[in-house]
With several copies, the nearest count.
Chain A
């Protein structure tokens, strides 16, 4: 599988904009979390933005994605509304899930975002189902599953590869290898190279530097195209790093540490946003000033979204009565 083309100027700028949006939203969520403004916890995606952005760049509104507990980035990259997401995380009625799901469950079906998922591996089977639906629709839709290196050890991963390959489903499996399975360094819980696992199913597997947005963009381009053409599933392993904690609250309740600060600093030097910015400037696609302007615009968006979220009302406690079932009392 080879990428269909290189990103255009517009696409380059979109990539950067998406990544910056994710970053700024999450930095604000970080601050709001520590300020005690959020009712629940957040699992931040900071450091991994190139993956969501590089993959979702190839998707349309009617393509499906399923995401994880670390799902803000996927939501935003797939075109989800920052206001509705932030309001959700504040537990507000204006939230994308009316405040019922929170950070781990941000979903927008109208944009093909089947939802973040608090169950590790929970999105896998769901994506297979969406891929089956896409295949039956026969309109070239694809279904993309984002999951972590930890999730790759759940049996559903293998099951999905088998079903996907067998039925040639338009399924794209994106494994974000961010160094940790919760608090366990990945290699303490994972045997072999995850990127080898698809081979037994004749599923094309590509490993990329997940902090290199362009590399991700290219690998995803090929994988999505493969699926759209009816050639079946493909797999991309994106190696990256979560520079924040597993859960932003962990500093308050973990009894120990599980990594050296130097490791974090190392990875901060490989920051995907700085890296893409540098490339874009080097390639004369934009200037640093333009990036600054973009950033300010994004910061305004985030500011507005947060103001909106804070000003929104909490949901009515009675709302749940209508939500367990469609048109039926619980």
Chain B
């Protein structure tokens, strides 16, 4: 085990996978100098054939990812900020998510798309979207939202070695968070949620970086005598509904914490699944702690309260238990 910053865990995982398989290639805007630090050093190490700085042309980049993967490479496409996914959304939604089905399963599509997501740092509306709801609805796209350095490494390696398109979303500005990463070739399968804390009174499901505020809320709740179970989704597609359902079977109460806008959020979807499949276990309403249906404002005092925080999460959970 080694303690690493999350962004370092990503960088190490990229290095190891590119070392391991020479058909892994990576491209994106300024991946050489690396805006977030996740791709630092790769160009020097693997050379300009396998690591390419691209022009700014997201529409073509997402198409290229499809084409290069269809032609036999394992592609890593770095899209920088999540909002730029929209700029390249055509080939994501119309090609990447559909081409395997449309062609009768002729090909696998080993594509990993990396992008930073989320607000909280006054980057304003065009640099702070949380785009997984749209991706989840496409059907043909896996979505990974690691919250710890270990998962960051393990999920990224799985995504790169996998044979389906996977969006690997890094929580913006949270790359500095530190944690243990297992030594050796650490892989984390897609579709396995983590129980970060056990408790019998209420289940708190967190998406991505919401894990930390959720854990903090759980600690605050414990001080009030409420024991919360915290489940970190790790991946949204595939979604580990079994772990969530098993927890709800014990607690009878669910709060989903998601930094996406509320309408059609991951939280909505998880709530809907539980309201159907675990209805008889539920003893209280299913609560969502999300971002209101608002684009991120710049002023920090306006932006901050829009994001889920330990207080909102704890309050939601407490209401359920006390009801």
Whether A and B are associated in the same complex: the answer reads yes
* Residue from A166, A255, A315 in contact with B55 in the complex, judged by beta carbons closer than 8 Å: A166
Establish whether residues B299 and A99, one from each chain, have CB atoms under 8 Å apart when the complex forms. yes
Establish whether residues A126 and B66, one from each chain, have CB atoms under 8 Å apart when the complex forms. yes
Minimum C-beta distance from B187 to chain A (A): 15
Establish whether residues B102 and A115, one from each chain, have CB atoms under 8 Å apart when the complex forms. yes
* Residues A139-192 near B (CB distance < 8 A): 143, 150-151, 153-156, 159-160, 162-163, 166-167, 181-184, 188-190
A134 with B71, Cβ < 8 A, contacts A40-B122, A323-B101 known: yes
* A271 CA / B73 CA spacing, docked (Å): 41
Establish whether residues B56 and A120, one from each chain, have CB atoms under 8 Å apart when the complex forms. yes
Contacts of A121 in B (CB 8 A): 56, 87
Establish whether residues B64 and A128, one from each chain, have CB atoms under 8 Å apart when the complex forms. yes
Contacts of B190 in A (CB 8 A): 328
Establish whether residues B59 and A159, one from each chain, have CB atoms under 8 Å apart when the complex forms. yes
* Residues B296-313 near A (CB distance < 8 A): 297-302, 305-306
Asked if B276 is an interface residue, CB under 8 A from chain A, the answer is no
* A99 CA / B102 CA spacing, docked (Å): 8
* Residue from B29, B54, B139 in contact with A330 in the complex, judged by beta carbons closer than 8 Å: B139
Residue of B nearest to A322 (CB): B105
Asked if B225 is an interface residue, CB under 8 A from chain A, the answer is no
Residue of B nearest to A95 (CB): B104
* Residue from A105, A256, A317, A319 in contact with B102 in the complex, judged by beta carbons closer than 8 Å: A105
Minimum C-beta distance from B4 to chain A (A): 16
* A41 CA / B121 CA spacing, docked (Å): 9
Establish whether residues A117 and B126, one from each chain, have CB atoms under 8 Å apart when the complex forms. yes
A109 with B103, Cβ < 8 A, contacts A40-B121, A118-B124, A182-B29 known: yes
Contacts of A329 in B (CB 8 A): 238
Which stretch in B90-98, B199-207, B245-253, B266-274 binds the other chain?
B90-98
Establish whether residues B73 and A133, one from each chain, have CB atoms under 8 Å apart when the complex forms. yes
Asked if B210 is an interface residue, CB under 8 A from chain A, the answer is no
* Residue from A118, A120, A130, A136 in contact with B49 in the complex, judged by beta carbons closer than 8 Å: A136
* Residue from B50, B57, B87 in contact with A119 in the complex, judged by beta carbons closer than 8 Å: B87
Contacts of A6 in B (CB 8 A): none
- Interface flags for A24-55 (1: CB within 8 Å of B; 0: not) read 00000000000000011100000000000000
Establish whether residues B66 and A125, one from each chain, have CB atoms under 8 Å apart when the complex forms. yes
- Interface flags for B252-272 (1: CB within 8 Å of A; 0: not) read 000000000000000000000
* Residues A278-330 near B (CB distance < 8 A): 314-317, 319-330
* Residue from B30, B32, B94, B302 in contact with A319 in the complex, judged by beta carbons closer than 8 Å: B302
A66 with B67, Cβ < 8 A, contacts A119-B90, A325-B140 known: yes
A324 with B30, Cβ < 8 A, contacts A91-B299, A188-B53 known: no
Establish whether residues B59 and A330, one from each chain, have CB atoms under 8 Å apart when the complex forms. no
- Interface flags for B282-318 (1: CB within 8 Å of A; 0: not) read 0000000000111101111110011000000000000
Establish whether residues A39 and B70, one from each chain, have CB atoms under 8 Å apart when the complex forms. no
* Residues A73-114 near B (CB distance < 8 A): 88, 91-92, 95-102, 104-105, 107-110, 114
Contacts of B87 in A (CB 8 A): 119, 121, 154
* A119 CA / B109 CA spacing, docked (Å): 19
Minimum C-beta distance from B32 to chain A (A): 8
A97 with B104, Cβ < 8 A, contacts A119-B84, A166-B55 known: yes
Establish whether residues B100 and A326, one from each chain, have CB atoms under 8 Å apart when the complex forms. yes
* Residues B30-89 near A (CB distance < 8 A): 30, 32-35, 37, 40, 49-50, 52-73, 75, 83-84, 87
* A95 CA / B105 CA spacing, docked (Å): 12
* A181 CA / B83 CA spacing, docked (Å): 18
Contacts of B294 in A (CB 8 A): 320-321, 323-324, 330
Establish whether residues B49 and A324, one from each chain, have CB atoms under 8 Å apart when the complex forms. no
Asked if B108 is an interface residue, CB under 8 A from chain A, the answer is yes
* A46 CA / B306 CA spacing, docked (Å): 34
Establish whether residues A125 and B61, one from each chain, have CB atoms under 8 Å apart when the complex forms. yes
Asked if B106 is an interface residue, CB under 8 A from chain A, the answer is yes
A323 with B100, Cβ < 8 A, contacts A41-B123, A136-B49, A256-B33 known: yes
* A98 CA / B298 CA spacing, docked (Å): 9
The CB with the most chain A CB atoms within 10 A, among B35, B108, B292, is that of: B35
Contacts of A181 in B (CB 8 A): 29, 55-56
* A325 CA / B294 CA spacing, docked (Å): 9
Asked if A127 is an interface residue, CB under 8 A from chain B, the answer is yes
Minimum C-beta distance from A252 to chain B (A): 12
Contacts of B53 in A (CB 8 A): 184, 188-189
Contacts of A166 in B (CB 8 A): 55
Asked if A122 is an interface residue, CB under 8 A from chain B, the answer is yes
A100 with B292, Cβ < 8 A, contacts A91-B122, A159-B59 known: no
Asked if B214 is an interface residue, CB under 8 A from chain A, the answer is no
Asked if B127 is an interface residue, CB under 8 A from chain A, the answer is yes
* A258 CA / B40 CA spacing, docked (Å): 13
* A99 CA / B164 CA spacing, docked (Å): 21
Asked if B194 is an interface residue, CB under 8 A from chain A, the answer is no
Asked if B163 is an interface residue, CB under 8 A from chain A, the answer is yes
17 CB < 8 A contacts A-B: A40-B122, A95-B104, A96-B104, A99-B298, A100-B102, A101-B102, A101-B298, A125-B60, A125-B67, A125-B91, A132-B64, A154-B57, A156-B63, A159-B55, A184-B32, A326-B109, A328-B190
Q: Which 9 A-B pairs have the closest CB atoms?
A: A125-B63, A129-B67, A102-B298, A98-B104, A118-B126, A133-B71, A97-B104, A129-B64, A91-B299
